[in-house]
Amino acid sequence: MNLIDYFDAGASSHPNAPCFVDCGSSAPVATYAQTQAKTCQMARGLQALGLEPGFHGAVLSGNSAAAFTAILAVLRAQGVWLPVSSRNSLESNSRLVHVEFHSGHRGRDLHAPTRALAAQGVGLLISTRRQAP
């Protein structure tokens, strides 16, 4: 099983249980069902960009429910999450992975939950390079 499979099992067992508690948010509690729905929307948005399984996705943010939701969306879209840190410099994080920042435009539109990440101070960095077999 993948990490997202364990998350989905928890969401199936306890859909109304708190998944994330984000004290700095206007919606401080997100249930498993709500988080699962958001990650599905975001994963479809990433796949609509033409990203293939194995793409690299890094979430550049402080600790927040939105950041962890974005990580789950990368995993749900069959991407590989790269654990960059918002405390590192851009140069340091760039050395970890060749990244390309998708702002939500570039001829294709990401779904609203993905665009909403930017409004919450969460950057989603994507690389279409895959690990060599």
pTM for this structure?
0.74
pLDDT of residue 29: 87
Residues in the chain with pLDDT < 70?
24-25, 94-133
- C-alpha distances in angstroms, 107 versus 48, 50, 54, 72, 127? 11, 12, 22, 25, 17
Specify if 132 maps to a domain.
no
* Structural domain containing residue 120: 3-127
Specify if 37 maps to a domain.
yes
Write out the H or E segment, with its range, that includes residue 80: strand 80-82
Q: Could you give the number of structural domains in the chain? A: 1
- C-alpha distances in angstroms, 130 versus 95, 110, 124? 15, 22, 17
Instruction: Look up the CATH number of the domain holding residue 48.
Output: 3.40.50.980
